[in-house]
Amino acid sequence: MNNINNDNIKVPEGWKRVSLGEVIDRIGDGGTPSRTDMGNFGGDIPWVVIEDIKKRIYDTKEKLTLKGLKNSNAKLWEKGSIILSFGATIGEVGIAEVDLATKQGIAGLELKSDQVYNLFLYFSLLIKKNELLKLANQTTILEVRPTTFVDKLYFLLPPLPEQQKIAEILETVDRAIEKTDKIIEKYKRIKQGLMQDLLTKG
């Protein structure tokens, strides 16, 4: 995959090269309230940790109360935001399908919706993991701060209708892969049962 930070790359007509910071309204780190006060947890605000990040985030294992949200650096990110990990695990990406908060090391990105389609940005960030790793500072853990990557991470941005069409095509491919994976898992289970029967019962 070509590095699209390369100034020599040919940009398709109507497309432009932008930094991540140019297409977002807000970005920020998450936070964790004190666990010594259990009144901070058990509410109804989804709270994303790394294991919760998937393509579409509808729910989380743990939830914060309003008190927990206020007693930490966690912020509430609106539905449609991009969720991106930049702490010990870098480059995991998801889309918030509900309003939610995140743990530290996981950023929320609220987008300029008149400029960028969230599903298009999701796919664009998926192929940027290696670039995020290169931007990471080698401290006690690998980490790249949001203030660092928003101005240094570049990608190509087509007009909004093209973004939506590209995202639609990639989404169709994802659905096909998901169906194929389910079929493979089904036949694996069938094979396991056959092996058990054939090798023990004949």
Supply the pLDDT for residue 3. Answer: 44
pLDDT of residue 1: 39
Range with lowest mean pLDDT among 1-10, 108-117, 160-169: 1-10
Range in 142-146, 154-158, 172-176 with the lowest mean pLDDT: 142-146
Q: What is the pTM of this model?
A: 0.83
The Cα 195–Cα 202 span in angstroms is: 10
pLDDT at 200: 78
Is the Cα torsion angle 44, 50, 54, 55 positive or negative in sign? positive
Residue type, 186: K
Mean pLDDT of 139-152: 69
pLDDT band at 197 (very low <50, low <70, confident <90, very high): confident
β-strand partners of 156: 17
- Nearest partner of 71 among 114, 37, 27, 44, judged by Cα: 37
- Whole-number percent of the chain with pLDDT over 70: 91
Mean pLDDT across the chain, nearest whole number? 89
What's residue 196's pLDDT?
84
Please state, in angstroms and rounded to a whole number, the distance separating the CA atoms of residues 169 and 164.
9
pLDDT surpasses 70 at 5 = no
On the question of pLDDT at 4 being above 50, the answer is no
Q: What is the pLDDT of residues 73-129, one digit of tens each?
A: 999 999 999 999 988 788 999 999 999 999 999 999 999 999 999 999 999 999 998
**Side chain identity, residue 143:** E
